[in-house]
Amino acid sequence: MMNLEGKTVLVTGGAGFIGSHIVDRLLDLGAAVRVLDSFDDFYNGKESNIKHNLARSSFSLIRGSILDEGELLASLKGVDVVIHMAGQAGIRYCNTFPEKAHLINVVGTFNLLQAMRKLGLKRLIYASSSSIFGPLVRERIDEDHPTNPSSPYGATKLAAEKYCMGFGQVYGLEVTSLRYFSVYGPRGRPDQIIAATYDRIQKGSPPIIYGDGKQVRDFTFVSDAVDATVLAVQQEDSVSRIFNIGYGEAIEINDLMRRIMSRLNGGHNLQIQNEPSYLGDFLATFVDNSLARKILGWRPKVGIDQGLHNYFAWKTENGVN
């Protein structure tokens, strides 16, 4: 396994939700971490995600975009490993702005691959998504499950994943793709269902479910996603492989909502508000994570109840509403 101490790692999108947690872990492991982030206004709070690292000599920040070739090349110089977390997230948002999703997720990823190729860099971890699968054709999703994305977001993430693996085959990039399943936790995006429900209940507003709430999701706590990502960097056997990264326990959205409401003061007094399903939504995700367990030696540790407890405790401690 690769020892990360003394290695230089570029994390694109490293001021974002999952990316900033990865940065923290890499720094703790002795790596020199460089972040390239555009601080897009998709959501607020990214500045606070990284401010605690600004004074560390092993941390550096480049405010720039993966759509800018010059900024990409400058950020990649002297790098040992690239973890590509930058992307336009949000199924509903990407339904409204598909051009932006294509530019950032597909063109931006292509730009990164080309820049790595020009500089002779090899090692890349790509952050893919469970949204590439679309409707289930069997109960559990393994890495060989058909990919039929039902939204522009899912389509762009799949296209970028294919570009990464194709560059690996033709140009010798050492690529690992990680398909994250419904990651949540501290610093999470405010539009994600757990964060949005918490915020609405704290304000005395009814929580919202899109559709009938019978959709099933496999939620993954952010620390487990970080564990898998770091192991993918370190583990040589992860090269040229794709891994599903999810906890491995399916929960119905109605059940999730009940668990959230029972934990929060005032939650019982609110009536759930059902809104129409949004286009591109899918009925279920339920991961088979056996390949990541076998090859990476990864074991998810935080189930949904512990994850909700940890997340809400963090929000309370940090005064986050």
Q: Tell me what the pLDDT averaged over the chain comes to.
A: 95
Please tell me the distance from the alpha carbon of residue 135 to that of residue 318, in angstroms, as a whole number. Answer: 38
Residues recorded for the chain: 321
Domain 8-250+279-317's class? alpha beta
The amino acid sitting at 199 is: D
Express each pLDDT in 79-99 by its tens digit.
Answer: 999 999 999 999 999 999 999
* pLDDT beyond 70 at 259: yes
pTM here is 0.96
- Residue 89's pLDDT is 96
- Residue 314's pLDDT is 96
The pLDDT-based confidence of 123 (bands split at 50, 70, 90) is very high
Express each pLDDT in 139-180 by its tens digit.
Answer: 899 999 999 999 999 999 999 999 999 999 999 999 999 999
What is the rounded average pLDDT of the residues 108-132?
98
Please tell me the distance from the alpha carbon of residue 309 to that of residue 293, in angstroms, as a whole number. Answer: 25
- Residue 299's pLDDT is 98
Reference 164, options 198, 196, 122, 203; nearest CA is: 122
The amino acid sitting at 232 is: A
Please tell me the distance from the alpha carbon of residue 27 to that of residue 217, in angstroms, as a whole number. Answer: 32
The amino acid sitting at 67 is: L
- DSSP letters spanning 27-52: HHTT-EEEEEE---TTSS-HHHHHGG
The amino acid sitting at 197 is: T
- Residue 280's pLDDT is 81
* pLDDT beyond 70 at 137: yes
Q: Which residue numbers are catalytic? A: 153
Number of H helices, E strands in the chain: 12, 13
Under 8 Å between Cβ of 101 and 156 = yes
Token digits of residue 56: 């560390």
The domain segmentation of the chain, as residue ranges, is: 8-250+279-317
Express each pLDDT in 289-318 by its tens digit.
Answer: 999 999 999 999 999 999 999 999 999 998
Reference 178, options 127, 241, 118, 234; nearest CA is: 127
Express each pLDDT in 201-253 by its tens digit.
Answer: 999 999 999 999 999 999 999 999 999 999 999 999 999 999 999 999 999 99
- Residue 242's pLDDT is 98
Backbone angles phi, psi at 11, to 5 degrees: -115, 105
Please tell me the distance from the alpha carbon of residue 70 to that of residue 76, in angstroms, as a whole number. Answer: 10
- Residue 318's pLDDT is 87
- Residue 267's pLDDT is 77
Please report, to the nearest 10 degrees, the dihedral formed by the alpha carbons of residues 122, 224, 27, 51 taken in order: 110
- Helix boundaries (H) for 52-123: 69-76, 91-96, 98-101, 108-119
DSSP 92: H
**What HEC string does 235-284 produce?**
CHHHCCEEEEECCCCEEEHHHHHHHHHHHCCCHHHCCCEEECCCCCCCCE
Please tell me the distance from the alpha carbon of residue 285 to that of residue 94, in angstroms, as a whole number. Answer: 20
Reference 307, options 221, 246, 187; nearest CA is: 221
Token digits of residue 45: 């709070």
- Residue 321's pLDDT is 61
Question: b vs e for 6-42, b when ≥16 Cβ sit within 10 Å of the residue's Cβ?
Answer: ebbbbbbbbbbbbbbbbbbbbbebebbbbbbbbeeeb
* pLDDT beyond 80 at 56: yes
* pLDDT beyond 80 at 266: no
321 Cβ neighbours under 8 A, 6+ residues apart: 199, 202, 203, 315
- Burial of 100 per CB tally in 10 Å (0-12, 13-18, 19+): middle
